[in-house]
A = this chain, B = another copy of it.
Amino acid sequence: MKRTEIRALFASAPADGASVTVCGWAKTVRDSKNIGFIELSDGSCFKPLQVVFEAAKLENYKDIAKAGVGTSLVVTGRVVLTPGAKQPLEVNADSIRVLGACPPEYPLQKKRHTVEFLRTMPHLRPRTNTFSAAFRVRSVAAYGIHKFLQENGFVYVHTPLITGSDCEGAGEMFRVTTLDAAQPPRTEEGAVDFSQDFFGRATNLTVSGQLEGEAMATAFGKIYTFGPTFRAENSNTPRHAAEFWMIEPEIAFADLADEMDLSEAMVKSVIAYVLETCPDEMAFFNQFFDKTLLERLNALINSDFARVSYTEAVEILSKHNDSFQYKVEWGTDLQTEHERFLTEQIYKKPVFVTDYPKAIKSFYMRVNGDGKTVAAADMLVPGVGELCGGSQREERLDVLTARMDELGLSRADYEWYLELRRFGTVEHAGFGLGFERLIMYLTGIPNIRDVLPFPRTAGGF
């Protein structure tokens, strides 16, 4: 069977009367006695194809008219150009064959469903407009990131998921094990004997590929990771998932300014790519999720991001302490309310806040000349707050080990990481972008459960 995808049919501008075979699922079926209309989707594009069918032409007219939403069909017919209408063409059916029926208990009947209801059926919800648009944008955004980085000479690195170490103590971790849960082997002292576990040691799911990424950056110069990351935090919020995807670029011979240039260019590039590639999906989100979405995204890609030091930002913000739930003072981390105030009220565009107090940042960040702050930069964007966070890494062995000692980190655990400084150390910097946060920003979808195809969150699945 030679069939034409609906996307290709719309794109190809066929002649009026051209013969065509299309397959798809009926999104709606309407009929009025002798003529019926099917909205047919094959998933190749957001917009459905209108199929017109007539009692005069189809022997099985009545069966088709009764076909349930979700029925899969093969339609052979003729293209009818409809220049005045919403869609440029429709298909007038010469024959319609049912591939798979869809009974009335199909949950996706033609009516509004709440996202909460749809979350209970992750295997079916991608057939709805919202999730079809969300997951296509997700796919296109992922590719946009690969495209930007590959075209700029970055090497894509698969850092390990199963790990023995905890980067920066970034949170609770999942244990990975093949030991018998009920009767684990024990040491003489009665502790669980992880030396008998699969890898001969206790292992966890990674919370970040950054440290391994640094090792690769000091070989390839420019690398990125793009893979799953895990947090076993019991935070049942719209913004946290236990399993999510991160992009972590890392560049050598580079400082914090280079890192900001890169993250700004990458975020602009992926947003522009999605706007260009998914106009129908983005128009849908702009209409149903956030009326300012397109305006906000277009403003972002056309702005030069501002840059302000944390110290300066605290000065600015503390003048407005009356309007904040949490008061700002030097030394404390910025809350979302402060971040949004800065980017929405003060700068009215994205802004990098740089040089945070070292006490509130990670051990690997480069200590500035003042001894009090580190070369970190968070990218804040209107409507959201922090979109990604980066830093220049501490490349000086003595400063790094002193900092680790200060924080009580074991040098032995990080021996390989220290060797990157011992053997031809170079200035380097990088950032981490939570992929789901980017998709939420791109679509206006407010809950992380609705941008992940099969979400794993504290609430279970």
Cα-based distance from A424 to B27 in the complex (angstroms):
11
Which of the residues B99, B158, B179, B425 comes within 8 Å of A100, measured between beta carbons?
B425
A454 touches B23 (CB 8 A): no
Q: Is A155 an interface position by the 8 A CB rule?
A: yes
Q: Encode contact with B along A191-203: 1 for CB under 8 Å, 0 otherwise.
A: 1101000111100
Given known A-B contacts A243-B162, A460-B200, A136 and B220 have beta carbons under 8 A apart: yes
Residue A157, interface by CB 8 Å: yes
Our pick among B156, B199, B220, B453 for the contact of A456 (Cβ within 8 Å) is B199
Residues of B within 8 A of A158 (CB): 138, 142, 228, 245, 452-453
- Closest chain B residue to A420, Cβ basis: B123
Find chain B residues with CB under 8 A from A172 CB: 178
Is A221's CB within 8 Å of the partner chain B?
yes
Size band of the interface chain A makes with B: 35 or more
Binds B, one of A124-132, A373-381, A440-448: A124-132
Residues of B within 8 A of A221 (CB): 5, 42-44
Interface positions of A from 59 to 90, Cβ below 8 Å from B = 70-72
A134 to chain B, nearest CB (A): 11
Inter-chain contacts of A192 with B (CB < 8 A): 181-182
State in angstroms the CA–CA spacing of A43 and B194 once bound together. Answer: 38
Given contacts A43-B219, A100-B426, contact A3 B161 (CB under 8 A): no
- Decide yes or no whether A139 CB sits under 8 A from chain B: yes
Judged by a CB distance under 8 angstroms, whether A106 is at the interface is: yes
In the complex, the chain B residue whose C-beta lies closest to that of A8 is B153
Taking the complex as formed, is A461 at the interface, i.e. its CB lies under 8 A from any CB of chain B? Answer: yes
CB of A330 within 8 Å of the partner chain: no
Cβ-closest chain B residue relative to A127? B219
Residue of A70, A164, A174 most packed against chain B (CB within 10 A) = A174
B23 touches A72 (CB 8 A): no
**10 smallest beta-carbon distances between A and B, as pairs:** A100-B425, A43-B221, A126-B219, A43-B220, A123-B215, A139-B156, A72-B424, A160-B454, A23-B253, A200-B460
Having A70-B423, A123-B215, one finds 4 other A-B pairs with CB under 8 Å, namely: A124-B423, A127-B218, A161-B228, A175-B176
